[in-house]
Amino acid sequence: MRFTRDSFARTMKAAMLRTDRGARGWRARATDVLPGGVNSPVRAWNGVGGTPLPITSARGATITDAAGHTRIDLVGSWGAAIAGHAHPHVVDAVAKAAKQGLSFGATTEAEVELAEAIRSRIAPAARVRLVSTGTEATMTALRIARAATGRDKVVKFAGCYHGHADPFLVAAGSGLATAGVPDSAGITATTAADTIVLPYGDAQALTAAFAEHGQTIAAVITEAAPANMGVVRPPDGFNTLIASLSRHEGSVFILDEVLTGFRAGPQGWWGVERDAALMRGEQPWQPDLITYGKVIGGGLPVAAVAGRADLMDMLAPVGPVYQAGTLSGNPVAVAAGLATFEVMDADAYVRLSLAADAVREGVSEAFMASGVTHAVGQAGTLFSFFLGLDTPPTTFDQVAAQDTAAYSSLFHHMRGAGVALPPSAFESWFVSVAHEERLTRRIVDAAGTWLS
Ligand SMILES: *Cc1c(COP(=O)(O)O)cnc(C)c1O
């Protein structure tokens, strides 16, 4: 192998980072300039301990750090990398778009095509507005709901994550309807008071909240299937109940599919429940507004709020609800989203589903063989493991009882065995179309050597 000066410098740096001192030195530099050394908290590994190294590249199902270690990746950019990292079709589309100009601050054909691609798959998405992050999407959905209803309050469920806008950074402890207590500093008491937090999946609590506050509830927001407290399968009929109570009381049902959209199934979790309802000969429930993110940008910043035409036409410039974005519908980002939709044909979803089944079932069997108490959370192709629990949890209180110290041990064991798990017990494990059998088998083998 011939060393250029560049590759020599890279190799030296990688060797340095492989030592503890080298890694800590890097970390000190990062924390000196970035709060906590990161631009998003989970990346700091506070949930599992240890020192994260910078990532240098990712391809297909693998990710490589600055010390030169390549591992099988089960984070997938938190689900965005559904086609596999740096899929050639997506990268080509991005390069082609970039050559035409990085941003225009004006509308392009590709934006219309991406919005049409969403609507063609999701019937309730009559109109679509593209934004850059899931946070903007849920924030905008709530603003529309408040404008449409003239009401202030929003109902959310403990353990559901909707991005970091103030009204959603509120979660209460156990119990029935609680006036919101902020989860983050910097949120006013007034904002928190407008958020009603209920235990997830609790039909009684939801019915009671509507009986007490019905005329003041602008919106109910829920993750289509919760996947930000580990994966929690919605109890049968829960989304149906949200839809019918919302309709009855004139509130807006906001379905947050930022994570589950085009991931839990080809039409998100909404599609999974719709198909099941049709099979039973029932009328499927309908959300009023839906939010998307992650997959629809294929790794670049694209998110969306979509839904009923009358609600979406509340948005400026048609209606009185202001919402805007310098980089909204950015041509390069939109190209990545469109190319990802092209890669994700019916066959790709079959492969995604097979990969998810192989890891979920294989790891669970490996845990059973070594006597590891665990429960499996599953919603379509999404899954996670709850160590120390023996039945799948349905509320955040139950989720919180999992053994996070055991997860930390698993995380570091898997890392040593060449598998990168999410750095928190409260996250979903993400596979991609590139997680072929040879790789899923390696993941299962690695799990089999933990505690055995
Ligand atoms: C990731 C996520 C968000 C926030 O999206 P960002 O792009 O990180 O702002 C909102 N809701 C759900 C369900 C998510 O998983």
Q: What is the distance in A from the centroid of ligand 1 to the CA of 197?
A: 18
Sheet with 419-420: list strands edge to edge. 55-59, 62-65, 70-73, 419-420
Tokens representing 29 are 């530099």
Distance from the CA of 78 to the center of ligand 1, in angstroms?
Answer: 9
Q: Which of 75, 130, 157, 161 to mutate to test the pocket of ligand 1 (most atoms within 8 A of CB)?
A: 161
Q: Separation of 180 CA from ligand 1 center, angstroms?
A: 20
DSSP, residue by residue, 69-88: -EEEES-GGGGT-TT-BT-H
From the CB of 256, is ligand 1 less than 6 Å away?
yes
| Number of Cβ within a 10 Å radius of residue 248 | 10
Angstrom distances, CA of residue 402 to CA of 109, 209, 381, 388, 446: 48, 28, 22, 5, 21
- For residue 303 and ligand 1, the question of a CB distance below 6 A is answered with yes
Cα Rg of the chain (Å, integer): 22
CB distance 434 to ligand 1 below 6 Å: no
pLDDT in tens, 139-174: 999 999 999 999 999 999 999 999 999 999 886 333
Confidence of residue 5 (pLDDT cuts 50, 70, 90): confident
Q: Report the share of the chain in percent with pLDDT over 70.
A: 96
Closest by CA position to 305, among listed 336, 261, 358, 244? 261
Q: Which residues have a Cβ under 8 Å from the Cβ of 452 and sit 6 or more positions away?
A: 369, 370
Residue 405 contacts by C-beta under 8 Å, 6 or more apart in sequence? Answer: none
Report the percent of the chain where pLDDT is more than 90.
Answer: 89
- Determine the average pLDDT of the residues in 397-407: 95
Which has the minimum average pLDDT: 142-146, 173-177, 338-342, 405-409? 173-177
Positive/negative CA dihedral, 94, 99, 103, 104: negative
The tokens describing 434, both together, are: 């590139």
- Report pTM: 0.96
Q: What is the pLDDT of residues 91-133, one digit of tens each?
A: 999 999 999 999 999 999 999 999 999 999 999 999 999 999 9
Examine the pLDDT at 175 and tell me if it is beyond 50. no
* Residue 173 identity (one-letter amino acid): G
Does residue 348 line the site of ligand 1, with CB under 6 A?
no
Residue 47 CB neighbour total at 10 angstroms: 17
What mean pLDDT is reported for the chain? 94
Summarize pLDDT for 48-85 with one digit per residue, the tens. 999 999 999 999 999 999 999 999 999 999 999 999 99
Q: Report the C-alpha gap between 67 and 17 in whole angstroms.
A: 5
Where in 264-331 does DSSP place strands (E)?
289-292, 303-307
DSSP 168: G
Q: What is the pLDDT of residue 8?
A: 75
How many CB atoms neighbour CB 36 within 10 A?
12
Measured in degrees and rounded to the nearest 5, phi and psi for residue 78 equal 60, 35
State if residue 258 touches ligand 1 by the CB under 6 angstroms criterion.
yes
Instruction: Considering only residues 2 and 6, tell me which one the structure prediction assigns the higher pLDDT.
Output: 6
